[in-house]
Amino acid sequence: MHSSSVHSFLVALISILATISNSVTHQMSQYERVLLSLSHLSFGQIERPIFNSVDSRSIGIY
């Protein structure tokens, strides 16, 4: 009884989280172009090489 109730609770929690994440990504896609344009204007050419080097180093380390 207890394990089945925990299982059903986890299934409900996962479905709720999936619904929330879907709605959040759906809302973010509306503002995606504005955020991307702002990031391109402010840090587009500077930030990307830094993040690329950090990502490659962290992948090499871990």
Mean pLDDT, the chain cut into blocks of 10 residues (62 residues total):
82 88 70 71 53 55 46
What pLDDT is recorded for position 12?
92
Number of domains the chain contains: 1
What pLDDT is recorded for position 21?
79
d(CA 33, CA 5): 43
What pLDDT is recorded for position 54?
57
d(CA 30, CA 40): 17
> Any idea how long the chain is?
62
39, 47 in Cβ contact below 8 A?
yes
- Could you tell me the residue range of the domain that residue 8 belongs to? 1-62
Long-range contact pairs involving 11-14 (C-beta distance under 8 Å, separation at least 24):
none
What pLDDT is recorded for position 62?
42
